[in-house]
Structure 1
Amino acid sequence: MKSIKNLLLFFFYATCIQQSYCQVYKFKTTGFSVLERNDKGNWGKWSDLQDASIVITLDTTKNRIVIYSQEIQLYEIMNYEKVQENENDEIYSFQCRNDDGEPFVISIIKRKNQENRKQLYINQKNVIVVYNIVNLIGNNER
Structure 2
Amino acid sequence: MKHIQLFLLLLTMGFASQVTAQTFTLRTSSVSYSEKNQIGKWSKWSDFAKADLIITIDGKKNRIVVNSPTIQVFTIKSYGEKTETDKDVITPFECVDNNGSKCNIIVITRKNEGNRMQFYINYSEVKFVYNIYN
TM-score band (shorter)?
A: 0.7 to 0.9
* CA-based RMSD: 1.4
Q: For residue 92 of structure 1, what is the aligned residue in structure 2?
A: 91
Unaligned 5+ residue runs, structure 2?
1-19
1:98 deviates by 1.3
Higher mean displacement: 90-99 or 126-135: 126-135
Counterpart secondary structure, 2:61? coil
TM-score, normalized by length of structure 1?
Answer: 0.77
2:78 and 2:21 mapped to 1: Cα distance? 17
1:39 deviates by 2.4
Q: For residue 100 of structure 2, what is the aligned residue in structure 1?
A: 101
Counterpart secondary structure, 2:44? coil
Unaligned 5+ residue runs, structure 1?
1-20, 136-142
1:22 deviates by 5.2
Q: Write the deviation string for residues 79-131 of structure 1: whole angstroms up to 9, x where unpaired.
A: 00110101000000001011232222100000000000000000101001000
Q: How do 1:8-23 residues align onto structure 2 when only pairs under 5 Å count?
A: 23=22
Structure number with bigger Rg: 1
Q: For residue 59 of structure 1, what is the aligned residue in structure 2?
A: 58
1:35 and 1:80 mapped to 2: Cα distance? 24
2:38 pairs with 1:35: no
Give 4+ residue runs of structure 1 displaced > 6 Å after superposition. none
Question: How many residues in Structure 1 have an aligned counterpart in Structure 2?
Answer: 115
1:124 and 1:30 mapped to 2: Cα distance? 21
1:78 deviates by 0.3
- Percent identical across equivalent pairs? 42
1:51 deviates by 1.3
Quick one: which amino acid aligns to residue 49 of structure 2?
Q
TM-score, normalized by length of structure 2?
Answer: 0.81
Counterpart secondary structure, 1:113? helix
